[in-house]
Amino acid sequence: MIHFLVENILKEGLFMSNVTSKSQVNLTSGSIPRGILAFAIPLFFGQLLQQLYNMVDAWVIGNFADNDSFAAIASTGIVIFLIIGTFSGFATGSSVIISIYFGAKDEENISKSIHTNFLLAIIASILATVIGIWMTPYLLKWLGTPDSVMPKAITYLTIYFGGVFTVVLYNFCMAIMRALGDSLHPLYYLLFSATVNILLDFLLVVHPAFQWGVKGTAIATVVSQGLSVILCIWRMCHLKDCTRLDFRKLHFYPRIMHMVLKQGMPSGLQNAVITLGNLVIQKNVNSFGAFAMSGQGAYSKIEGLVFLPIMSMAMALPTFVSQNLGAGNYSRAKKGALFGILFGVTTAELTGILIRIFTEPFLRIFVDEPEALKYGMIHGHIVSLFFCLLAFSHCAAGIMRGCGKSIIPMAGMLLSWCFIRIIYVTVTLHFFPVYQTISWAYPITWGITSILFVIYLFRIDWEHVFKK
């Protein structure tokens, strides 16, 4: 049982001198805001780079190809996240175990946790490739993808999932490095791969010698992600002592495996089922036509960019909380959680106001068709002012995962962001068959989740969270 194991860790508290490096942020001592922000800022820039080169993909296709090409990429995002989100959620949840042992300074179990996670990463990358290629045509057909968009969407996803193992491996490597307090090196490697991605976009899509459209964009993504994972693995193999990755030590340690699966599976399952719910939403969006697909797809690019500071905080909180609980710093873990929530909610609401004011000029970066702009503005004007609820949900979920309670956020989000959202859209569209009905599904379900998480957070017993 995870609680029994972690209790022993807290009792032993073995000291080690060579676990940390200059790139690793000390989250168990010093100023709480400074420590969290020092860890979260590289996460922010890393996500910013990912969003920027995703936006470059969209901008290149939107300006050097037709609307059907842009709609193909915009509409496939939800399919991609169904696969990638599942395995990246697993990686994030399972890396909590590394953080706990790292906070407790248990060298032996740090090494075992790292090698167990990496072996899982190899298996997950193979599964993601096989499942992605197999499911692509069925999911696109079920979504009701327009005939004009279907061939390009299939081309894009087939190439993408053919190389998706690079994306999955990168997410696992990034989660392991974050669990050890290192958010800088993944940023450096992502900067390199983002530059390669952008250059390949212009070469394969814009240059007259190629002009491969969605095919070129997919190839650029796979190649650049492959380079980033090579750099991550190289770094992990050159760390010191118990934090170093050694392929000869790859092994499923039964105790560690039990803990990793217990923490990782709920997070992965949560992302998978929530994405299935969003597939139902996307299917209804598709029913309004290619311009609705383009409009919402363009808005999602904007939202993904401006929401990065909040997501960075939500990603930093599990590592901060789990390391401090592993070290026995219960009060510090609680104070850090409160700081993270206040930062996330405040930043999110200010961001939402900004988006509400400048929705149209932001949308014009990607689409210029009046009909597509109309749908994007409808969605943006409805959801942007409720970003505070989304921020609270993500930060609270991160805190609970850091406490080893990954089942709670999974259950809350599945109930609200999947089942209630599907029921709402299915029933309400029957009586109010307008696009606004779909947009309102998001703030309503964010609010329900926030209420559930507030209730649970007040009931957490920080001092005994791993001992019950």
Give every residue of the chain whose pLDDT is below 50, as ranges: 1-20, 468
Does a structural domain hold residue 21?
Answer: no
- Provide the pLDDT for residue 449: 94
Digit-coded pLDDT (tens) for 80-125: 777 777 777 777 777 788 888 888 788 888 898 899 889 888 888 8
Report the predicted TM-score, pTM, of the whole model to 2 decimal places: 0.73
Amino acid 20: pLDDT: 45
Would you list the DSSP string of 162-198? HTHHHHHHHHHHHHHHHHTTB-HHHHHHHHHHHHHHH
Identify whether 18 is part of a domain.
no
pLDDT of residue 252: 79
Convert the pLDDT of each residue in 258-276 to its tens digit.
887 777 778 777 777 777 7
Sequence-ordered list of residues with C-beta below 8 angstroms from that of 1, at least 6 positions apart, any chain: none
> Per the domain annotation, does 260 fall within a domain?
yes
Q: Is 15 a domain residue?
A: no
Render pLDDT for 174-207 as a digit per residue (tens, 0 to 9).
888 888 888 788 888 888 888 898 899 889 888 8
| 310 is a domain residue | yes
> Structural domain tally of the chain?
1
* Residue-level pLDDT at 346: 94
Q: What is the pLDDT of residues 278-318, one digit of tens each?
A: 778 878 888 888 788 888 888 887 887 777 888 888 888 98
Task: Tell me which residue has tokens 């995002």.
Answer: 77
Q: Which residues 6+ apart lie within 8 Å of 134 measured at CB?
A: none
- Inside any domain, residue 17: no
Asked whether residue 200 is assigned to any structural domain, the reply reads yes
Range of the domain at 386: 2-10+32-464
**Does some domain include residue 24?**
no
Q: 27-53 burial by CB neighbour count: b if 16+ within 10 A, else e?
A: bbeeebeebbbbbbbbbbbbbbbbbeb
